[in-house]
Structure 1
Amino acid sequence: MTDGTPGPEQGPETKINTDVPQSARIWNYWLGGTDNYEVDRMAGDQYVSLYPGIVPLARAGRYFMDRAIRFLIHERGIRQFMDCGTGLPTVDNTHEMAQRAAPEARVVYVDNDPLVLAHARALMTGTDEGRTAYIDCNLHDPKTILDKAAETLDLSQPVALLLVNVMGHIVDPDEAMGVARGLIGGLPSGSYLILDDCTDDNEAFNAAQRFYDDTDAIPYRLRSHEFLSGYFDGLEVEEPGLVTVNEWRPDVGVEVELLPTLCGVARKP
């Protein structure tokens, strides 16, 4: 970090495994990045051959994040963001989106992939006015995430929690719901949830995901609209409600393509 903020929290050293595909590297490939290996590109190309919609879906998720962050900054006054399962740096990252709109914004990234961590150390720097930090932590441990986030964020003030295409990595549905509620529960009133995830109502998408899950990579569970809606229980959902990713406050003049996703932005009362 070059902005005077703390560097990434150190976790156990983990060797980068280039023998099996890894989701952050595959998504980086789909988004046009270069931080991936041949094994990731092969898996990514096979996935695309089964479900070509995955590339526009991945890009649509990034655009949704940008719109949601701008909305919360400009219309709800949010200045703190915690992005869980951030993945590898791409063209536009969460701290860049937030600090472009509000230079004083604070952003904490949470991930435990060693390649992501290496890039975080080298590349994820913020503005002089804001703060950008990285936590090397497992998503299954919300208490530790919150404790470490408090070193950068003021948890007495509202925080936007980003769970974007990450919760399916927690295979057990009850645990996934528990982790999300644990994170939200540790944030103050007035905080927000930004969530986007993939749904299980497209057979080609399901087939592609089955192929991916049959590799040695960490599996990802596509889930129903009903299940994903449960993440928002007890929260005040902002308009236009829970919709597909391209339907959430699209920029003027942008053609809306319906994709097998569910997303929303909601306030903790």
Structure 2
Amino acid sequence: MADKRPIRTDIPHSARIWNYWLGGRDYYEADRMAGEAGVAGYPEIKAMAIQSRQFLIRAVQYLAADAGIRQFLDIGTGLPTMQNTHEVAQAAAPDSRIVYVDNDPLVLAHARALLVNTTDEGVTTYLEADFHQPDVILADARNVLNFSKPIAVLFIGVLGHARSYGEVRRVVDAMMDGVPSGSYLALNDGATDDRAYVRMCENYAKTGGVPYNPRSSAEITGIFEGLELVEPGVVPINHWRTDEAAHGIRGTSAWGGVGRKP
């Protein structure tokens, strides 16, 4: 069914701003202005956007190549950019099945055109749903994924849009309750350890876009409660399975990790 909701070009949208920070072309003037304002207030944000994508790539490579995962549920996928989940997963395991989830009409339009299967053996598809509705996501994903086998659930930089930490926990707990033992959770989100970054998020909320609420590193770690953390645990995303910490490179103001459901 075609999405009939209008695309609001006069209000900035986080997926399009993220695309702007990543050097993409899928944004409008309101997004560019909000993106430039973000850079002015927090110059490191472009690097954080790239680091978030690199974290996704490393996490999916680990899951497909090392953990043997063949099913991925990428929730709040955003606009397609470089090395999307299906490209990384299917490069490591050609039979990987990927379901993208988003509720933004521009994202869905691009998904139809660009999120195309890269192998004959695999499956790449998308569904329209809001991450606040885990029951809907789980029900629709059953049409594509085999829920008797492990599934990797991905939330990459999206849970900050939840209004409260309690809502974050409700959504993630419902998703992980719905997938079988041996499944994985991979997520990252902005953290409150840098006041300039927090101020940038506060200013973004004044633009009319959906507010983004960074959490403390302890809260982000708490999302993995009950899961078996993959080394090195929940850390700044540029320190996750890299040698940057050993080289003394400062951690970014986004934390993330990967955990396995026992």
Class of the TM-score when normalised by the shorter of the 2 chains: over 0.9
Instruction: Provide the alpha-carbon RMSD of the alignment.
Output: 1.6
Note the C-alpha offset of 1:12.
5.3
- Kindly provide the amino acid, as one letter, of the partner of residue 266 in structure 1: G
Match of 1:260 in 2: 253
Alpha-carbon separation, structure 2, partners of 1:106 and 1:20: 34
**For the Cα contact (< 8 Å) 2:224–2:259, is it kept in 1?**
yes
Match of 2:221 in 1: 229
Residues 1:24 and 2:15 are matched in the alignment: yes
Q: How does 1:160-171 map to 2 (within 5 A)?
A: 160-171=152-163
Residues 1:111 and 2:102 are matched in the alignment: yes
**For the Cα contact (< 8 Å) 1:11–1:137, is it kept in 2?**
no
Alpha-carbon separation, structure 2, partners of 1:11 and 1:51: 38
**For the Cα contact (< 8 Å) 1:141–1:179, is it kept in 2?**
yes
Match of 2:232 among 240, 250, 257: 240
Deviations 1:156-192 (A, max 9, x none): 1000110110001111221121011101110000000
**For the Cα contact (< 8 Å) 2:72–2:99, is it kept in 1?**
yes
Alpha-carbon separation, structure 1, partners of 2:65 and 2:92: 8
Alpha-carbon separation, structure 2, partners of 1:181 and 1:248: 23
Note the C-alpha offset of 1:11.
7.3
**For the Cα contact (< 8 Å) 1:245–1:261, is it kept in 2?**
yes
Q: How does 1:35-54 map to 2 (within 5 A)?
A: 35-54=26-45
Alpha-carbon separation, structure 2, partners of 1:12 and 1:33: 23
Deviations 1:58-77 (A, max 9, x none): 10011111111111112111
**For the Cα contact (< 8 Å) 2:3–2:105, is it kept in 1?**
no
Note the C-alpha offset of 1:83.
0.5
Deviations 1:120-175 (A, max 9, x none): 11111112110011010011110110111111111110001101100011112211
Alpha-carbon separation, structure 2, partners of 1:32 and 1:100: 24
Gaps in structure 1 of 5+ consecutive residues: 1-9
Match of 1:63 among 54, 64, 67: 54
Gaps in structure 2 of 5+ consecutive residues: none
Alpha-carbon separation, structure 2, partners of 1:182 and 1:13: 29
Aligned identity (percent) is 49
Alpha-carbon separation, structure 2, partners of 1:12 and 1:70: 32
SS of the aligned residue for 1:35 comes to: coil
TM-score under structure 2 length normalisation = 0.96
Q: 1:187 to 1:106 in 2, by over 3 A?
A: same
Alpha-carbon separation, structure 2, partners of 1:251 and 1:226: 23
Q: 1:113 to 1:225 in 2, by over 3 A?
A: same
SS of the aligned residue for 1:232 comes to: coil
Note the C-alpha offset of 1:257.
3.9
Alpha-carbon separation, structure 2, partners of 1:223 and 1:68: 21
Residues 1:197 and 2:189 are matched in the alignment: yes
Q: How many residue pairs end up in the alignment?
A: 260
Alpha-carbon separation, structure 2, partners of 1:111 and 1:236: 27
SS of the aligned residue for 2:235 comes to: coil
TM-score under structure 1 length normalisation = 0.93
**For the Cα contact (< 8 Å) 1:11–1:136, is it kept in 2?**
no
Greater RCO, CA 8 A, separation 6+: 1
Q: 1:23 to 1:156 in 2, by over 3 A?
A: same
Deviations 1:32-77 (A, max 9, x none): 1100011100100000000011111010011111111111112111
Note the C-alpha offset of 1:16.
0.3
Which 10-residue stretch deviates more, 224-233 or 254-263? 254-263
